[in-house]
């Protein structure tokens, strides 16, 4: 008898799920999504690659002049993030002195080319 009462009660209630493609799922605050790097802010200190527990951040050659706190610095390297290895812990964002690395609210992308899975 309890099955029938539950069936009739749920027959007239609203569905709990959402229609995903038509309705977007709200992103909760504090969501750690895709890693983005502001190349114009990066000073090449490599703190992000040192603190990364997954070792997904490598430093690649990219010499150029960068201004940081009123000083001109000669940057030798810039970070490159392998997004498929990243565990989205946020340590790189927390330890960056130039505020160049951010975890956005959008989900990480995937794809067959290297440019799509590296930041």
Q: What domains are there in the chain, each with its CATH number?
A: 27-116 (3.30.70.3270)
Q: What is the pLDDT of residues 52-95, one digit of tens each?
A: 999 999 999 988 888 888 888 888 898 998 888 889 999 999 99
Q: What is the DSSP letter of 64?
A: E
% of the chain with per-residue pLDDT over 70: 92
pLDDT of residue 52: 94
Mean pLDDT of the chain: 85
Spatial CA neighbour of 107 closest among 23, 37, 17, 28: 28
pLDDT of residue 119: 66
**DSSP letters for 1-52:** -HHHHHHHHHHTSPPSS--TTTSPPPPPTT----EEE-TTT-----HHHHH-
What is residue 118's three-state secondary structure? Answer: strand
């Amino acid at each position: 008898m309890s099955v029938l009462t539950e069936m009739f009660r749920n027959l007239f209630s609203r569905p709990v799920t959402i229609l995903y493609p038509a309705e977007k799922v709200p992103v909760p605050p504090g969501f750690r999504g895709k890693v983005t790097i502001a190349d114009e802010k990066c000073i090449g200190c490599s703190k992000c690659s040192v603190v990364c527990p997954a070792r997904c951040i490598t430093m690649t050659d990219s010499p150029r002049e960068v201004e940081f706190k009123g000083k001109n610095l000669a940057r030798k390297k810039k970070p490159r993030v392998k997004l498929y290895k990243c565990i989205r812990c946020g340590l790189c964002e927390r330890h960056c002195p130039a505020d160049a690395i951010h975890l956005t609210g959008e989900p990480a992308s995937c794809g067959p080319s290297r440019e799509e899975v590296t930041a």
